[in-house]
Amino acid sequence: MSHKHAVRNAITSVVMAGSIATAAADETSIRLTEGPGLPQVQASCSMCHSLDYILMNSPFQDKAAWEKTVNKMVKVMGAPLTAEDIATVVGYLDSHYGKEPAPASP
Question: What binding mask, one character per residue, do residues 10-29 give for ligand HEC by CB under 6 A, x or -?
Answer: --------------------
Determine the size of the site formed for ligand HEC (CB under 6 A): 22
User: What is the smallest separation between the CB atom of 76 and ligand HEC, expressed in angstroms?
Assistant: 8
Given the complex with ligand HEC, which of 20 and 39 has the nearer CB atom? 39
Q: For residue 84, what are the contacts with CB-CB under 8 A and spacing of at least 6? A: none
Half-sphere exposure of 75 (CA within 13 A, CB side): 7
- Decide: is 83 part of the binding site for ligand HEC (CB under 6 A): no
Q: Is 55 left (phi over 0), alpha (psi -120 to 50) or beta?
A: alpha
The reply to whether 6 sits near ligand HEC by the rule CB under 6 A is yes
* Rounded distance between C-alpha atoms, residue 88 and residue 99, angstroms: 18
Under 8 Å between Cβ of 58 and 99: yes
Q: Which residues bind ligand HEC (CB under 6 A)?
A: 1-3, 5-6, 44-45, 47-49, 53-54, 57, 69-70, 72-73, 77-79, 81, 89
